[in-house]
Amino acid sequence: MKFKIEKKVIFACILMFSLGFEMGGFQAVLRELSLYFSIGKVSWGFLVSSQYLGIIIMPVVFGRVADRIGKKQVLLVFMSIFIIGTCCIGLSSWLPLTVIGFFLTGSGYGVCESVSTALLSDQYADSAHRYMNLSQAFLCIGAVIAPILTSLQAINWRLVFLISSGVSLIALIVLLFEGGFTVVPSYSSSRLLDISLFNSKAFVLLFVTMMIYVGLENGFGYFTESFFYDAYASSWGGYAISLYWASMAISRVITSMSSQHIFKQLRVRFILVAVVFIALFVSNSPAFALLLCVAVGACYGPIWSYIMSLSAGMYPERTASVTGLISSACGIGGAVYPVFMSAIIANAPLGSGYLFLSVSSLVAFLLILVAHRRAVNY
């Protein structure tokens, strides 16, 4: 099936690029940011968690709102919140305001990612996972470019967030003048939080799997630059993050062309990720570790889009509610895993955290195995 390159797709790609630039840039400048505010290693995880607190809370509430009043309206509001949050981070020299900025950024990030994904699911129901993968590829491209620019010292940590703000403003303008959105009959319920989705055991399993997957992403992404610095006394950490996101982008573009046997692909990818993390733990070579980072990105590839697509497909009349809840799962995993990793590296080498990630990946494999048996419609 050929892609229809419409403004809605272009909007989603620009928006995801801005989100990816912020995420990849944050991962690359976390140590620099920590030094600026004089906070120690253990506090890194809590700095990351301040952003993911917003991702936990907001999507689950405003996904339901988007199903009621319209996805465009909610996107415009939360893109504005993302812009305000990134500007606070980029311009502030006061730690409390920076933490507030991270919360606002996370709130905007979570709602924008989940609701724009629901929008694509509504608009292109027959090929939703393809457009999700395509837009997520642009998220990866943004996450590639930001660490490269910081590694080359072309931009500092403040510009990472200000550039993200500027690109998001472009996406907002594109959306502002776009119309013709597909209207999906909304599930009738007066409740703001639609917990009835958890009646499906398959949905619960996908929810927990997404929580673990984003934990794997953050557990790897936010500590890899520091791992190279501490384990190898190498400055290749920024390049490792860029190569990781580049390989993920390529993987997502490839799978956006044709995706079959989604559950089988998920099982294989989680097993491969577990093996690669063990290899990272035992690696003594920065060059080999760099290649393993590429392998992690390639294995991660379309996992996020596949889980989101499978979840939204279960409740086509409540896509924003579904993607909002799944995005909250992303936020939980994204907030908890950096704290776990911080606790692990406080008393052990940074590389030991990869063993924890390997075990987590095996747990995700088992969850997908059971979810496949429960989701009889796939």
Q: Report the pLDDT averaged over residues 91-95.
A: 90
Instruction: Kindly state the DSSP code that residue 251 receives in the 8-state scheme.
Output: H
**Residue 184: per-residue pLDDT:** 57
- Which of 87-101, 129-143, 187-201, 303-317 tops mean pLDDT? 87-101
Q: Residue 81: left if φ>0, alpha if ψ -120 to 50, beta else—which one?
A: alpha
- pLDDT per residue over 159-175, tens digit each? 999 999 999 999 999 99
Q: Is the predicted pLDDT of residue 287 greater than 70, yes or no? A: yes
Domain boundaries along the sequence of the chain: 7-185+192-374
**Residue 279: per-residue pLDDT:** 94
| 298 or 4, which is more confident | 298
Cα Rg, the chain, nearest whole Å: 19
**Residue 188: per-residue pLDDT:** 46
- CATH class assigned to 7-185+192-374: mainly alpha
Q: With bands split at pLDDT 50, 70 and 90, how would you rate the model's confidence at 97?
A: very high
- pLDDT per residue over 47-68, tens digit each? 777 888 888 889 888 887 888 8
342 φ, ψ to 5°?
A: -60, -40
Q: Report the pLDDT averaged over residues 246-268.
A: 84
Closest alpha carbon to 116 in 11, 186, 31: 11
Q: Report the pLDDT averaged over residues 287-298.
A: 92
Q: Report the pLDDT averaged over residues 22-26.
A: 90
| 61 or 215, which is more confident | 215
> 213 with 304: CB under 8 angstroms?
yes
Q: Report the pLDDT averaged over residues 83-108.
A: 94
Arithmetic mean of pLDDT over the chain: 85
- Angle CA(158)–CA(161)–CA(166) in degrees, nearest 5? 120
3-state secondary structure 80-119: HHHHHHHHHHHHCCCHHHHHHHHHHHHHHHHHHHHHHHHH
Which two three-digit tokens encode residue 290? 């760099």
Closest alpha carbon to 310 in 79, 128, 43, 94: 128
**Residue 320: per-residue pLDDT:** 80
Please state, for a pLDDT cut of 90, what percent of the chain lies above it.
35
Closest alpha carbon to 273 in 209, 358, 337: 358
> DSSP assignment of 58-80, as one string?
HHHHHHHHHHHH-HHHHHHHHHH
